[in-house]
Amino acid sequence: MTTHLQREIEGLKKRILHMGARVEDAVRGAVASLVGRDSQLAEDVIARDEKMDEIEVEIEEECLKILALHQPVAVDLRYVIAVLKINNDLERIGDLAVNIAERAAYLASHPGLEVPLDYEGMAELTQLMLKRSLDSLVNTDAELARQVRASDDEVDAMNRQMYRILEEYMAQHSDQIPESLHLLSASRHLERIADGATNIAEDVIYMVEGEIVRHQPEDFAQQQ
């Protein structure tokens, strides 16, 4: 790797980690606003979305510049391609955090529902997946990335459980269907954030090992 390309790669690494930190903060704030019924915190998350969009565009432009000017190969090429994809996943996760914050802002202005929903548990696992996926990127740790993939089924199961509980609740409380639907939407957005973390983990595995595992079952990928 030339010295100039090395500097460009290091700069790219700092940018994607900065983006990741912002997205983590957005998810954390969105979940806190939902659980705490905090409309002001929800509005703060929504207001920060534009800056994340700007950073996403800057990173994409930097990746394209590196590809055009340096024509990297092998590990460097895989790294730039992975960052391009991870950057896109992070921007989507940021959008999902905003969607949760919007649901939280609505729910904060309406009476709470007496329904046993474990949003904190689901959010805790989802946030752990996101953190580990970014840690696997920082440390080029394919094994940690595989652990993230393995956690996705658990979040899917929690989302299905939320759906069953809310479906039953709505059948008995037709006057609270709008609030129930907003809670259901928040659950679905958390599940999609977990999917995004899984995508990042799969991109890290590609970056480190050159293997595309996106369409492989987790147990098959672990045997490779």
Please state, rounded to an integer, the average pLDDT across all residues of the chain: 91
pLDDT tens by residue, 156-211: 999 999 999 999 999 999 999 999 999 999 999 999 999 999 999 999 999 898 88
38 token code pair = 């905090």
Spatial contact of 157 and 165, defined as CB atoms under 8 Å apart: no
User: Residue 201: which domain range?
Assistant: 3-223
Give CA separation, 175 vs 142, 170, 202, in Å: 49, 8, 43
Q: Is the pLDDT of residue 12 over 80?
A: yes
CA torsion through residues 200, 206, 207, 208, sign? positive
Query: pLDDT by residue (tens digit) across 86-121?
Result: 999 999 999 999 999 999 999 999 988 888 888 889
Indicate the pTM of the whole model. 0.90
Indicate if the alpha-carbon torsion angle 110, 102, 27, 115 is positive or negative. Answer: positive
CATH number at residue 119: 1.20.58.220
Can you tell me whether residue 103 is helix, strand or coil?
helix
Distance CA 187, CA 160 (A): 9
Label residue 119 exposed, middle or buried (CB < 10 Å: 0-12, 13-18, 19+).
middle
Number of domains in the chain: 1
Check residue 187 and give its pLDDT.
95
Helices (H), 139-176: 142-172
Q: Which of 10, 48, 51 is nearest to 27 (CA)?
A: 48
